[in-house]
Every structure is written in C-alpha cells, then in structure tokens.
Amino acid sequence: MTKLAANLTMLFTELPFLDRFEAAAKAGFKGVEFLFPYAFRAEQLADKLSTNGLELVLHNLPAGNWEAGERGIACHPDRVSEFQQGVDDAIRYAKVLNVKQLNCLVGIVPAGVSAELARATVVGNLKFAADKLQAAGIRLLIEPINSFDIPGFFLTGTHQALELIKATGSSNLFVQYDIYHMQRMEGELANTIKANLSQIKHVQLADNPGRFEPGTGEINYHYLFKFLDEIGYDGWIGCEYKPKAGTVEGLGWRAAHGV
C-alpha cells in the first residue's frame, strides 16, 4: 500500500517551518521528510512530530553551506573531518527523532579535483558513514541527482550509485531513488526500480518538466503507483515537488491517482 510522506522543505512553504507539521497532518499525511533538522533543537522537532502523530521518515546528513550553493561535501577531499563530524551530528538528531534512515548528498565536485580523487573521497566517506550509522541502527542512503538542476553533482545515475555501494563493501548503504531526477537522467523508470528493488529503500517523486506535483507532466504516475505496489515496494514515497498553485490547492492529485 502506497505510503506518502510530505516533504516539508518543499510543501506548505507559505507557513513557518515548525507550523508545517500540523499542516501536513491536517492534510492527511502520516509521514514527513525534510532536508535538514540542524537549525532546530532535536527535542523541539520531536515534540512537533509527536503532537501531530507523524513519523519522520528521512533527513539528510549535513551538506555544507547550503545557502552558498553547496550540495554536500562527501566528494571534497579537504573536508573529510567536517564530513565525519556531520555524521556524528546526524546520528545524534536521528536518535532523538527516531529516524531509521539518513540520506547523504555527495556534493558538487570542487574545481581542480580530479574525478578519481573525488570518487576515492566519496567511497571513503560513505564507508565511514555507513559503518557509523550501522552501529547506531540507522540505514544510509545515497541519491543520484540530475545534472541539469545541479551541474557538476558527482552522483548522477542509478548504475553509478550501485557501483559506489559495491566499492564501499558496506551492507548498510542503499539507494534513494528520486523519480523526477532519474526521469531526467535515465528514463526506464519501472524496469530500473524493479531490477534494483532490493537496493532501493526510499523513493521520492515530482513530475517533469517543472518538478511539480504528479499529473502536471510527462511521468505516468497512475502506472508507477500501481507498479510499485505490484513489485512489493513497501517503503515511503516522499513528495518532494514544487506545488504548482499552492500546497493544499494542489493535493487533489492524490485522490486522482488513487493514493
């Protein structure tokens, strides 16, 4: 059965962040996700989750200076110690928030860093993070991102993600599969998900073009929702899209798609 989680970084943005939990619950969501919790006290967020009967299904490891355009630092050779500190910070939040999986945005390759050095840095950082999270009972995910929205991002495809997982030798590293990003980079959505279902532990959605809600673009979400149920995907699907005409006004897509 399809389980939808509201991405509070993208949805209900007309409200202050801490008010979005109540709005998500009132809109019928049972789970939420967001990029980062670190601007707030973990206990403050835990209270919002508990008060509104919500499960936090995912957040990201610290990703550098987001406001300055950084999108992760796992591929930055000169910032390994900062990455490792971020892993510890993420675990501390995850334990309070009862989060069972965290995502690592690996980042944009810095100028002057070779592809080989970037890859070696990513592999080393992911192995470190996967091992630390495994000891804490938390799953680590990596997410391929399309290179149109974030030029220079190191991880851009499913096959590359699977290769990185293999290179780490970790049993605690999996794929976060974003349908929107992979439609732009690869297509072949259904077959790719089915072939790699054991490695995909979280799915996110948005339509293309525009990254709006399902039903606004070219992706056949009527088919994909049914398909995910048929192949036995039992994880959450994060609604990480830009509402085309307001969050609440645009939520009719759920009933229209039978989810």
Tell me the catalytic residues: 143, 240
Tokens found for residue 117: 């050095």
Q: How does strand 173-178 pair with strand 236-239?
A: unpaired
Give which of 51, 47, 43 is closest to 26, Cα–Cα. Answer: 51
Burial 78-114 (b: 16+ CB within 10 A, else e): ebeeebeebbeebbebbeebebebbbbbbbbbbeeee
DSSP 96: H
What are phi and psi for residue 202, nearest 5 degrees? -155, 145
Question: Do 140 and 199 form a contact (C-beta atoms < 8 A)?
Answer: no
